[in-house]
Amino acid sequence: MKHDDRASAELLEVLELTREFFEREKTRGLQNISMSHETWTALETAVEKAHVAAQQKHTTQKDAARKDIVSKDVALLLRDISALTSGCEKCHLAQTRTNLVFGQGNPNAKLVFVGEAPGADEDEQGLAFVGKAGQLLTKIIEAIKLKREEVYICNILKCRPPGNRTPTTEEIACCMPYLMKQLEAINPPIICALGNVAAHTLLNTTAPMNRLRGRFHKFGQALLMPTYHPAALLRNPDYKKFVWEDVQMIQKEYEKV
Ligand code: SF4
């Protein structure tokens, strides 16, 4: 027990004993307890406050312990899903990949970014969003006062399509169960779909990005914000103002959850 905890426990005990002493003396008929009504009330209030503080501390400790267990559970679950994907040969991208890119980040993230598929750098390193587009994504995350380690980052496809071509419907259908398992495990309240492939796949639509972005869509229990892919921003800096608007909306929502 820490020094502060021991001191409050001792204080609570002294207050309890003092109150019990006076209660006992009163029942024995002692008339002349030289204590004013105010002092008696103050003593009772002090005991009550000490009880409430002790209870609050206990609840906070229990909540922290529960959070810790949940966090470890999700991390283990993600590790299991990752093990399930490793060596996957469900589509022909298995033959051309260097590394499978599962995704990475905080298992307890309140915000998950979902991109399209690994690029050359990601394929090389086995990590999501580590190339130029990834560096831009880091800046976007930091612009809304978050750190990369606080969010989770992954893609619709776990393997790189050769030459970064757009994923086919068949590849997406083969790979989606992995992403769905990841999202189910993390259960984030906010998802940001980066680019057309992620937005179209997750929202089951073919509407253009300029009609999808700028507002949240329901995705199960989560709110999903579609926005332009960082790689599209590198090609077309005019999109920056739209992405900025979208991530500011995410930031506002993030502060509420
Ligand atoms: S892209 Fe997905 S489904 Fe295809 S081999 Fe890679 S992990 Fe398996």
Question: Do 12 and 54 contact (CB within 8 A), yes or no?
Answer: yes
Q: How many CB atoms lie within 10 A of CB 53?
A: 13
Quick one: pLDDT at residue 44?
72
CA angle 150, 156, 157 (to 5 degrees): 115
> Which residue's CA is the closest to the ligand 1 atom numbered 2?
175
Cα(229) to centroid of ligand 1, in Å? Answer: 21
Atom from ligand 1 closest to the CA of residue 97: 6
Cα separation, 116 vs 100, in Å, equals 14
Q: Is any ligand 1 atom within 6 A of the Cβ of residue 93?
A: yes
Q: Decide whether any atom of ligand 1 lies within 6 Å of the 175 Cβ.
A: yes
Q: Ligand 1: distance of its center to the CA of 180 in Å?
A: 14
- The predicted structure's pLDDT at residue 17: 77
Q: Quick one: residue 103, left, alpha or beta (phi over 0 = left, psi -120 to 50 = alpha)?
A: left
Q: Is 171 in the pocket of ligand 1 (CB under 6 A)?
A: yes
Kindly report the pTM of this predicted structure: 0.76
Q: Could you give phi then psi for residue 80, rounded to 5 degrees?
A: -65, -45
Atom 1 of ligand 1 has which residue's CA nearest to it? 159
Q: What pLDDT score does 127 carry? A: 98
Q: Which of 236, 235, 229 is nearest to 213 (CA)?
A: 229
- 75 vs 79: CA distance, rounded Å: 6
Beta bridge partners of 155: 115
Burial class (CB in 10 A: 0-12, 13-18, 19+), 22: middle
> Pick from 135, 117, 252: which is nearest to 189 by CA?
252
Cα(170) to ligand 1 centroid in Å equals: 10
Give the pLDDT of the chain (257 residues) as one tens digit per residue: 555 566 666 666 776 777 677 677 777 776 665 667 777 677 677 767 776 776 777 666 666 666 666 777 999 999 999 999 999 999 999 999 999 999 999 999 999 999 999 999 999 999 999 999 999 999 999 999 999 999 999 999 999 999 999 999 999 999 999 999 999 999 999 999 999 999 999 999 999 999 999 999 999 999 999 999 999 999 999 999 999 999 999 999 999 99
Asked if 91 contacts 170 with a C-beta cutoff of 8 angstroms, the reply is yes
